[in-house]
Amino acid sequence: MTHLLKTSIINVTAALMIGSLLSGCNAPDPSVGNATPAKQIPESKGVPVIDASDASLPIISINLPTEAEQKRNGECLLLATRDPDSNELHPVHGIYDRAEEHLTFTPSFPLLPNLNYEAVNLLTDRSTSYRWDLPTGDVPTLSISPTLDVLPANHLKFYLSFSEPMQQENPWEYCKLLNITTGEFVGRPFRHTELWNKSGNRLTLWFHPGRQKTGVNLNLEIGPILEPEHEYQLLIDKRWKSLAGTAIGKDTMINFQAGQSDHSQPDPESWDLVLPTAETTDPLTIQFNESLDHALLNNRALKLLIGNTPLSSHQEVWENGQGIYITPLKPWNSETYIIQINPRLEDLAGNSIERPFEVDLNDRNKNLSKAQEITFTIKSED
C-alpha cells in the first residue's frame, strides 16, 4: 500500500460507510455550457474504470476479486478530492451498486467542474484521475416565489429559481431566515431534503413541516418557525455558486409578515371564472381567491377537456399563483367544457384539493376532497 493512501484510507472509511447510504438527487444537464467530458477509461490491472458519458455524474467501477466478497463497498472503492496541504482524501458522497463481481459508484451530486478528483481502488491501491471542464459562466440571477407581503404562519415552501444550474450540495448553508421583530435568526428552519428540478436551476426550499404542523413533536418541543404578526426576512447568501463556479455576487432578500395560519382547503367551487366567447381564442380567466402552489400550476395541474377528450392549450400562471389564463390552441366552440383539477394542487400552507395539511385523526378515513372538476359553457355572441 502506498504511503499516500495509508494516510488517507483510515480517515475516509467511516465517512464512506455513511455516504454509501445517502440517496441521490436530480442532476443538472451536463450539456449546459461547453463541457468537455472525459472519455471512458478502461480498467487495467485494478485501475478504476470511469464512464463519463454524463460528465458531471461519472460512473466509477471496478471488478471485485473473490476474496473481497465480505468487504464493505466503502472499503473497496472511493471517489475523492485530495487536500494539497495535508494530502488527505475527502470522499465524495454517492451511491454504490454491487452486482456479483462488479462494483460501481455514482456521485449523489454533480461533480464540480474544473476540479481534480481521484477514483481509488482500495483493494489494489491504484487510482484514476478525473476532471471535467466548463468555462466560467454568467453571473446567476435569482428569483424567489412567492413574494407576498403576508404569508400564512404555517407557510411551507419557497421556490428558488436561478438563471444557471447551481452547485447543489448543502444549499441550506446559503439560506437564512431572520425574525426582524426579535432581531434573531430562526434556528434550523429548513427541512434538509433537497428537491432540485432536473435542470438543477430550481430548488424547493421547505420550512420543516414538523415545526409547522400543530401539535407534533417538533412543533411542541422547538416551536413553530413563524409567529403571527412577526416580520421576517428570507436571505440567500451571495457566495452561492453556479455549477460553472460563478457566485451570485449579491445577497438576495425578501421580507414578509406572518399572518394567521391557514387550515382551509382550496375550493374550486369558489373560484371566479371570466368566460370567453365562441369562435375566439380569448383566454379563459380563473381567479383562485388565494395563492396556490406556483410550481404545481406550471406543471399542468389544470387540464382542459370536452367530455373525456383533452384539449391543447397555453396556460399562463399569474404572479404568486393567484390565478391563471387558459388559452386554447383552436377557437372555443359553443359547448360545455371541463377543467380537471389535480387533487394534489395545494395552497401555500400545504392544504390540497384532496385534503387539508392537518387532518383530525377522527377524520382520517373520511373523504375530505373538494371538487376535482369544474364545468363551464361557452356561448356565442348571438
C-alpha grid cell, residue 52: 463519463
pLDDT tens track for 166-224: 998 889 899 999 999 999 999 989 988 778 998 899 999 999 887 877 655 666 566 78
What are the helix (H) ranges across the chain?
A: 3-19, 209-212, 217-221, 294-298
Task: Report the pLDDT value the prediction gives residue 221, as an integer from 0 to 100.
Answer: 64
- Looking at the fold, whether 158 and 252 belong to one and the same domain comes out as yes
CATH code for the domain of 98: 2.60.40
Structural domain that includes position 99: 3-130
- Please state whether beta strands 323-328 and 336-341 pair in parallel, antiparallel, or not at all (unpaired): unpaired
- Are the C-beta atoms of 248 and 160 separated by less than 8 Å? no
**If you average pLDDT over residues 75-91, what whole number do you get?**
91
Query: What is the overall mean pLDDT for the chain?
Result: 85
Instruction: Give the span between the Cα atoms of 210 and 218, in whole angstroms.
Output: 5
Residue 99, classified by CB atoms within 10 Å of its CB into exposed (0-12), middle (13-18) or buried (19+), is exposed
- Looking at the fold, whether 310 and 279 belong to one and the same domain comes out as yes
Task: Report the pLDDT value the prediction gives residue 20, as an integer from 0 to 100.
Answer: 37
Last residue of a domain, one of 101, 130, 159: 130
- Looking at the fold, whether 195 and 278 belong to one and the same domain comes out as no
- Looking at the fold, whether 126 and 154 belong to one and the same domain comes out as no
Angstrom distances, CA of residue 42 to CA of 61, 100, 202, 373? 10, 19, 36, 57
pLDDT tens track for 140-172: 999 999 999 999 999 999 999 999 999 988 898
**If you average pLDDT over residues 300-326, what whole number do you get?**
95
Q: What is the dihedral of CA 87, 93, 98, 103, to 10 degrees?
A: -30
Task: Report the pLDDT value the prediction gives residue 1, as an integer from 0 to 100.
Answer: 40
- Looking at the fold, whether 121 and 197 belong to one and the same domain comes out as no
Last residue of a domain, one of 107, 130, 153: 130
- Looking at the fold, whether 104 and 27 belong to one and the same domain comes out as yes
pLDDT tens track for 11-24: 433 333 333 333 33
Task: Report the pLDDT value the prediction gives residue 251, as an integer from 0 to 100.
Answer: 96
Task: Report the pLDDT value the prediction gives residue 10, as an integer from 0 to 100.
Answer: 35
DSSP helix, strand, coil percent of the chain (3-state; round to 5): 15, 35, 55
Task: Report the pLDDT value the prediction gives residue 107, as an integer from 0 to 100.
Answer: 94
pLDDT tens track for 11-59: 433 333 333 333 333 333 433 434 444 444 554 578 999 999 999 899 9
CATH code for the domain of 223: 2.60.40.1220
pLDDT tens track for 101-112: 899 999 998 888
Instruction: Give the span between the Cα atoms of 60 and 169, in whole angstroms.
Output: 20
Last residue of a domain, one of 85, 104, 130: 130
The model's pTM: 0.69
